[in-house]
Amino acid sequence: MSVTRTKIVDAAMVIVRDQGVSRLTLDEAAKRAGMSKGGVLYHFKSKDELVRGMVQRMLEQCDALLQNHYAAEPEGAYRWSRALVRMAFDPEGPPDHKIGGALLAAVTVNPDLVAPIQAAYDSWTARAVSDSPDPLRAKLVCMAMDGYYFQRLMGISLFNERQRDQMKEFVLNMIDAGKSGE
């Protein structure tokens, strides 16, 4: 991915976050990226392609975060689940980072573009379940993290930093409680 492409995708992300999905147009993205629409269309043949780029960018970042957090977690049960929670509460994760807008953009521009996200999501869930003695507990954790993402994306009921950290600890504790058979 060239520097310019990255810059354009960044601009698109910022637009979604700051102005809402409805304002995501090729013109606006170009303006934000400091270039003309022609320039944008040189790098992305269509708006769909641009959104695809956003999605790809988001998934790459998520995967990287997940990998990092997984590596940092101690071995044992629920390791993936814990990594997932860390990613969800990471400032660089989808809920709190501009990359989160990619999903919203995909859904509104063309629902087909959600497919890669679904695939990634399924694999994350599968991983979380794979090393969990209690699959339902792992799934619940996934759902809760989605809920957190959802709230941020839709702008409903925002935690402050303190509540955020409390919730993170609570979820991690809940996971640990599942280790020794509830």
Q: Is 175 in the site for DNA (CB under 7 A)?
A: no
- Per CB under 7 A, contacts with DNA among 44-83 are 45-48
d(CA 74, CA 43): 42
Helix (H) or strand (E) holding 163: helix 161-179
Q: Which residue lies nearer to a second copy by CB, 60 or 169? A: 169
> Which of 150, 17, 12, 138 minimizes the C-alpha distance to 85?
138
Q: Is 148 in the site for a second copy (CB under 8 A)?
A: yes
> What's the first-to-final CA gap in the chain, in angstroms?
46
> Which of 139, 140, 138 minimizes the C-alpha distance to 179?
138
Each residue 114-143 as x (binds a second copy by CB under 8 A) or -, in order, gives x--xx--xx--x----------xx-xx-xx
d(CA 35, CA 8): 9
The residues binding DNA (CB under 7 A) are: 2, 4, 23-28, 30, 34-39, 41-43, 45-48
The residues binding a second copy (CB under 8 A) are: 20-22, 103-104, 107-111, 114, 117-118, 121-122, 125, 136-137, 139-140, 142-151, 153-157, 166-167, 170-171, 174, 177, 182
